[in-house]
Amino acid sequence: MRLTPEQVAIIRSAAAEVFGSDARVWLFGSRVDDSKRGGDIDLYVEVPHSVRDAVRRHARLWALLQAQLGEPRIDIVMRPMGSPSQPIHEIARLTGVPLA
């Protein structure tokens, strides 16, 4: 996994701040593979309930991570637990590394 412990802590903290402490986060995509270089940060976030103002919260999480990590390429896929799963959700969970 190509994130530092500090980056992982920042991501976990930001997700908890925006979605609550029950939010679960996975890193997926190229940053999971230690043999690769570069690439954006792909995050899959499961929130424990239906999220009111989901678009606003998604944007808030992205802005927090952008400001704290200084990484311009952050992609966030969000899914309330219990909502229908889409293929991207399954791929992220199966190939990703849980962060929180």
* Percent of the chain residues topping a pLDDT of 70: 97
Q: Which of 25, 30, 27, 1 is nearest to 13 (CA)?
A: 25
| Residue 35 in this model has a pLDDT that exceeds 80 | no
What pLDDT digit, counting tens, does each position of 45-61 carry? 998 777 677 788 889 99
Q: Out of 3.40.50.300, 3.30.460.10, 3.40.190.10, 3.40.50.2020, which CATH number does the structure's domain 5-98 have?
A: 3.30.460.10
User: What residue ranges do the domains of the chain occupy?
Assistant: 5-98
Entry pTM: 0.89
Question: What value does the CA radius of gyration of the chain take, rounded to a whole number of Å?
Answer: 13
